[in-house]
Structure 1
Amino acid sequence: MLCELALPPGCRGRNMPQTPTQARGISAPLLEILKSPRVSTPTRTVLRRRLEGPPADYKPTCITPEAFQILERVLARLLPEDEDGAPGANELSLAARLEQQRAAGHGNGWRYASLPPDAQALSTGLARLDESAQHRHRRHFVDLTEDRADALLHRVQNGEEKWEGLDSSRWFEEILADATELYVAHPATMDAMGFDGFADEPAGWPAHAGGGIGINNTEAWELKGKHRSR
């Protein structure tokens, strides 16, 4: 039986990052590659869809709005925006993307036998996490300080939180894996890393005679280092 979260109205804590109202953009150099014939039509379509992302007023369907706030906080702690300008989880609406994926059953095709189906595991785990926060700190997870939130997530990761009917360590592993896959697949993350390996259309690559391509030998169109946009 799923445990229903019962957070009071306005439970979003002062440490809770807000979901962005506009998707993160990409730099002009990466955009030029994306528009070029070096990228196949199917790949371009997928990447543009990822750029558009979920709507700003996204409504979760397999978890409650309160649980969705907890998920946002969890992902913000796992994948924060770094000082070099790489996007953070909430800047990319990662919680909405992950919830949408779990609700639609579009996972990676397998799960641990110790975990329930993906959507149920997400809901139950977030409820258990909030129960752990209340048990240890008498506060909801969204209201914990960053240090306490991180410490609790470490306990969950290490399996030190014993949850009824759910393996906390396995749950954390699956959340982290799904979030990481969604994160690195976003064009803004590729942009921050200077990654242009999505250029997958052979017809868009000119022929090279005399071994002109090699290690550390790039072409003029390729990204040079990190291109960040704001």
Structure 2
Amino acid sequence: MPTESAPVTDGAPLTLYLLHALGASSGSFDRLADELAGDVRVHGIDLPGFGSAASAPDATLDETVDHVLRHLAGHANGPWMLGGHSMGGKIAALVAARVLRGDAPLFGLRGMVLMAPSPPRPEPMDEERRERMLSWVDGGALSEQDAETFIDQNTAEPLDAGAQSLALADLRRTSPTAWRAWLETGSRVDVTADVQTLDLPVLVLAGTDDADLGASAQPELLASVYPRARFTALPDTGHMIPLERPAEAAEAISRFVADEVRVGPVVPDDWARLIAGDRVDDRVRGILARRSVPDDRGYAPRVLDLAQLTLLREIADLVVPQDGPAIDIAGRVDAQLARGEGDGWRNADLPADVEAYRTGLDHLAATWPTDPAERVETFRAAVEGDADAEGTFDAAQLKAWLEDVRNDLVRQWLAHPASMARVGYDGFATGGTPIRGYVELRLGRREDWEPANVGGTIATGDAA
């Protein structure tokens, strides 16, 4: 059965859904759940052929992904993370890809935690060892001796009695068919085309004493899949991280959550349910899911230089002041420029967008005050066309460019689902099959499917 720790007491509750390793179960995360209690809720999911689902019908890799998605659809509310250990890491990648594409009725994914994960590409494994492991189920379920051998081969030091007993029980009740299917097919199949690149916060934990999926191997296996991955090595640790090092793993997860996951606003639960529902087209859901992913605190500008991006962030604070966890709208504008996207037009007196941003920011930087109060007046003068005309832009060009800047910054803020919730905009929920719409449109009218705050007034600077 799934395991879950006590709910958090501060901030929006955050749940980490974890998929277990080959021959394990959701119970392998019990100790991790205890260590993270009060910070992150841990919810393990038994996969077909393992744990409480050991007697489930045989499942392919795609069917296992569907099993996880159904479970999440029934349990994932509010902000959540997804993770996996070993075999579960490959399955988690496929699940996350479908969530971020909008192909599943889910919303709220904010990051991933992977422990010695099997990569989306074929898993590196010594073929002699693979054949030996397959031979263990030739006559049925794993014997106690073979299960003990498996544990010894995958740990750096002997497990304590409780962990050893749990691991043995999980291995011995594992479905021989599921064991064979993973070793013969699941671990060998290449799903990189399905997963592609997952641009969200990711923590990768791996042991220094793990043979094939250890700390030295993971960056090469995963860096192209998870560009924002944080790789953390666990010394004197083998492959069975949740049982070998639950305290150390929990500490790394807590740091990761504080640094990279609890960043930016959280979409209110009723709005998250609306986005996940059948009124929203898959493509739209995917766009909103990707927009709600926490910003990269270490974002490296792609078009602007660091000084220009810093100044744009200061301008953003004037244009769209944000209280509480903020959206990095300046960083999002830089990414927009790098993609060559815009609003479809430009002032004839200005150069192309990238050149205009670089020129305008350098122009402002020459006289930009360090005093925040003085910045307000400097910015107001530039917006009104009364700025110092010295520089590449004249006062009229600077004014015209700042119109574009303000438009871009506000658009990036409003595009975030949390901002849509703040202003009460739910016009994205008019899709689905068949297409849904509004029964009537008039001031003060809220339909039954709409969130409670639609039509209300919510200040831009309010916390989500």
TM-score bucket of the superposed structures, by smaller chain: 0.7 to 0.9
Q: In structure 2, what is the equivalent of residue 30 of structure 1? A: 271
- Number of residue pairs aligned between Structure 1 and Structure 2: 193
Indicate which of 288, 308, 312 corresponds to 1:71: 312
Gaps of 5+ in 2: 1-258
Q: Which has the higher strand share?
A: 2
User: Could you say if the C-alpha distance between residues 131 and 221 of structure 1 is closer, same or farther in structure 2, counting changes exceeding 3 Å?
Assistant: same
Q: Is the 8 A contact 2:318 2:376 kept in 1?
A: yes
**Structure 1 stretch 195-204 or stretch 99-108: which is displaced more?**
195-204
In the superposition, the TM-score normalised over structure 2's length comes to: 0.39
Shift of 1:178: 0.9
Indicate which of 351, 356, 359 corresponds to 1:116: 351
Indicate which of 281, 287, 290 corresponds to 1:40: 281
Q: Matched residue of 1:33: which SS?
A: helix
User: Could you say if the C-alpha distance between residues 214 and 112 of structure 1 is closer, same or farther in structure 2, counting changes exceeding 3 Å?
Assistant: closer
Instruction: Please give the alpha-carbon distance, in whole angstroms, between the structure 2 residues aligned to 1:104 and 1:65.
Output: 18
**Structure 1 stretch 25-34 or stretch 103-112: which is displaced more?**
103-112
Shift of 1:144: 2.1
Q: In structure 2, what is the equivalent of residue 173 of structure 1? A: 403
Q: Is the 8 A contact 2:280 2:428 kept in 1?
A: yes
**1:31-77: CA deviation from partner (whole Å, max 9, x where unpaired):** 00000001011110111111115422110021111111111110001
Matches within 5 A, 1:129-140: 129-133=364-368
Shift of 1:124: 1.3
Larger Rg, first or second structure (1 or 2): 2
User: Could you say if the C-alpha distance between residues 96 and 206 of structure 1 is closer, same or farther in structure 2, counting changes exceeding 3 Å?
Assistant: closer
Matches within 5 A, 1:125-164: 125-133=360-368, 141=369, 143-145=370-372, 147-161=373-387, 162-164=389-391
User: Could you say if the C-alpha distance between residues 92 and 75 of structure 1 is closer, same or farther in structure 2, counting changes exceeding 3 Å?
Assistant: same
Indicate which of 192, 196, 200 corresponds to 2:426: 196
Instruction: Please give the alpha-carbon distance, in whole angstroms, between the structure 2 residues aligned to 1:52 and 1:98.
Output: 16
What is the root-mean-square deviation of aligned Cα atoms in Å?
2.5
Q: Is the 8 A contact 1:101 1:107 kept in 2?
A: yes
**1:8-30: CA deviation from partner (whole Å, max 9, x where unpaired):** xxxxxxxxxxxx95232100000
Q: Is the 8 A contact 2:292 2:416 kept in 1?
A: yes
Instruction: Please give the alpha-carbon distance, in whole angstroms, between the structure 2 residues aligned to 1:158 and 1:23.
Output: 31
Instruction: Please give the alpha-carbon distance, in whole angstroms, between the structure 1 residues aligned to 2:446 and 2:329.
Output: 32
**1:140-162: CA deviation from partner (whole Å, max 9, x where unpaired):** x4x222x2111000111011121
Q: In structure 2, what is the equivalent of residue 15 of structure 1? A: none
